[in-house]
Each structure stands twice: as structure tokens, then as C-alpha cells.
Amino acid sequence: MELNGVREDTDSRINAELQPRKKLKREVQLWLENVERINGEVQNLNERIGESSTLRRGFHADDVLRRTREVEELIQQGKFQEGLVVDNPQWIGQVLSTRRLSV
């Protein structure tokens, strides 16, 4: 599924961008949760269709269409042009330890 490829790319970007004093954007966290949810729903739907008789498989068409649209939306939302992380407000204004330089 193309969505899982986008998720893998996003995971790689997260690993590259997530530095100390940074945190994942809330929209990215929600997107990742939605990807996990839709993956579970698609797997469940595939199992239900597989267990259905040939005559009853057509009854799942609306569910398939709905999930397909949601996957397409998630693929578009997963581009994150503005980046994946933001400054962590817990670190703002805190004094950082420094090393004493010897001359």
C-alpha cells in the first residue's frame, strides 16, 4: 500500500529531524495514529471480504470505497511541507550548561 511507503518515509524524516530540544508536531502524531487505525481497518475489511461468499462481496463496496478515499486523504496529508518537528517549549528559557574554556 502506498500509504505505508509514505509512513516509512515519514519515519525516516522523523529520525533525521528529531533532535534534542525538539518534539514531534501534534499533527504528525495524529497522522501516524490515523495511519495505524486505517491499516487495522483495511486488514479487518480484507478479512471480512475473504470470508464472504462471492455473492456477498459486493455488499462491501461502500466500505472499500470509503477506506480508499481515507487512504488517499492520508497520503496527501502525509507530505508535511512545513516539517515534522517544532521546538519543545519545555526547553525555552532554560539555562544550558556550558564548559569552561581554558586559555
Residue-wise pLDDT tens digits, 51-103: 887 767 778 889 999 999 999 999 999 999 999 999 887 755 655 566 777 76
pTM of this prediction?
Answer: 0.78
For 62-67, the CB contacts below 8 A with 24+ separation are 67/38, 67/41, 67/42
Q: Where are the domains of the chain?
A: 22-78
94 vs 28 pLDDT, higher one: 28
